[in-house]
């Protein structure tokens, strides 16, 4: 497995040495979502006490220095040592990177809390009628004294019911301003006017939430980036949502695949073929997002080419979890054990990988038109 070749001080050694002591807060998917979140917070708290979670974040924001590669190495080491990926690191990468780049003051105030396992964040972008087309969102923010009042609705907000803060994208321009009139706000989910309603998924868990905002007050210093400049912040943020999220997911899938290979009966041609196809796709994904992580660490501004990472991620999620179903077909289908239930839940979750963070069809159009330079698809009349 190709590594990042970065020195993250003693991460792997420490995790292996303390593996037994950390099992009571191992975030692996063998219990309820709320329990995994609680374990994830405790897991991060112990890593923070050991001085590990701050690597890759600047010292002025409560980190220990280093680059994006150090963070990627930490996520890789966590799964390689047999631990589940902590639930908070997805939002950490996306919103933490946005705060550092566009409001360092907020980063220095709130990043240390998350790194210490004392907080959880979520992302409020999608709306009932604005998913892939963010430029059409309707949540509105209007000036009020020294701050803003936000009114609207967000949906598919991951872990919203447990989160403390939400990065909310709202319209500050005219109704028809599209992407030119959006602003990103840092919103306290315990503020008056906020209502969060969990949504039950096919896995039987309340992973997503609807967030209703009714005149919620946000101080002026909680604006992330320039007013009406939220589209640029969102595009910057998407580098991490599609790049570093893909790195986190491939780390999880490598752990899954390693365990799966140990259970594989090589005489089962169909199962072996499914594993081989998943392995090939996973290797391609790792190579691709490894280069993305390195470019992020170098300060490169990634453009439409990061959509390739997102396409590969969705494809690989499907293949890896189809391989799990093929190898463990009997347990997968009829066993009520916690492990089988977790495998089924992961399979259902993998089906969404071609939708969340930008639908695969949209990403393919972006790559075709803006990376390969192919002509735009003719309008159907």
How far is residue 10's CA from residue 52's CA, in Å, rounded to a whole number? Answer: 9
Beta strands in the chain (DSSP E): 121-124, 140-144, 147-158, 165-171, 182-188, 194-199, 208-219, 223-224
In eight-state DSSP terms, residue 31 is S
The active-site residue out of 73, 93, 241, 346 is 241
First to last CA, the chain: 49
Burial 257-272 (b: 16+ CB within 10 A, else e): beebeeebeeeeeebb
Residues 6+ away with beta carbon under 8 Å from 90: 158, 245, 248
Say if residue 30 is exposed, middle or buried (CB neighbours under 10 Å; 0-12, 13-18, 19+): middle
241 as an active site residue: the answer is: yes
Residues 6+ away with beta carbon under 8 Å from 311: 360, 363, 364, 367
Q: CB–CB of 238/176 below 8 Å?
A: no
- List own/partner pairs for 273-278 with CB under 8 A and 24 or more apart: 274/319, 274/322, 274/323, 274/326, 274/327, 275/323, 275/326, 275/327, 277/319, 277/323, 278/316, 278/319, 278/320, 278/322, 278/323
- Closest of 163, 159, 179, 162 to residue 171, by C-alpha: 179
Helix orientation angle between 338-351 and 307-327, rounded to the nearest 10 degrees = 150
Q: Where in the sequence numbering do the catalytic residues fall?
A: 241
């Amino acid at each position: 497995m190709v590594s990042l070749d970065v020195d993250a001080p003693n991460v792997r050694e420490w995790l292996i040495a303390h593996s037994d002591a950390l099992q009571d807060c191992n975030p692996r998917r063998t219990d309820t979502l709320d329990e995994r979140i609680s374990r994830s917070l405790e897991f991060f708290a112990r890593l923070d006490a050991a001085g590990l979670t701050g690597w890759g974040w600047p010292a002025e924001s409560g980190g220990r220095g280093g680059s994006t590669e150090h963070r990627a190495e930490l996520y890789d080491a966590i799964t390689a040592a047999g631990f589940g990926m902590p639930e908070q690191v997805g939002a950490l990468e996306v919103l933490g990177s946005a705060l550092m780049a566009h409001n360092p003051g907020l980063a220095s105030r709130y990043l240390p809390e998350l790194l210490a396992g004392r907080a959880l964040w979520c992302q409020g972008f999608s709306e009932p009628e604005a998913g892939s087309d963010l430029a059409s969102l309707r949540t509105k923010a209007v000036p009020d004294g020294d701050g803003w009042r936000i009114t609207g609705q967000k949906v598919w907000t991951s872990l919203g019911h447990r989160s403390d803060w939400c990065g909310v994208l709202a319209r500050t321009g005219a109704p028809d301003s599209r992407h030119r009139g959006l602003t990103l706000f840092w919103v306290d989910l315990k503020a008056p006017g906020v209502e969060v309603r969990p949504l039950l998924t096919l896995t039987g868990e309340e992973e997503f939430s609807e967030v209703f905002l009714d005149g919620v007050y946000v101080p002026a210093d909680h604006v992330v980036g320039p007013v009406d400049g939220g589209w640029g912040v969102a595009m910057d943020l998407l580098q991490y949502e599609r790049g570093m999220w893909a790195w986190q997911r491939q780390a999880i899938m490598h752990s899954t695949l390693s365990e799966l290979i140990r259970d594989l009966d090589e005489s089962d041609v169909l199962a072996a073929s499914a594993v081989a196809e998943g392995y090939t796709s996973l290797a391609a994904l790792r190579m691709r997002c490894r280069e993305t992580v390195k470019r992020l660490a170098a300060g490169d501004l990634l453009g439409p080419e990061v959509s390739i990472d997102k396409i590969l991620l969705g494809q690989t999620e499907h293949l890896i979890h189809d391989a799990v179903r093929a190898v463990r077909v009997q347990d997968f289908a009829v066993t009520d054990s916690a492990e089988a239930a977790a495998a089924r839940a992961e399979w259902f979750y993998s089906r969404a990988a071609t939708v969340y963070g930008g639908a695969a069809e949209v990403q393919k159009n972006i790559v075709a038109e803006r990376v390969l330079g192919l002509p735009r698809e003719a309008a159907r009349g």
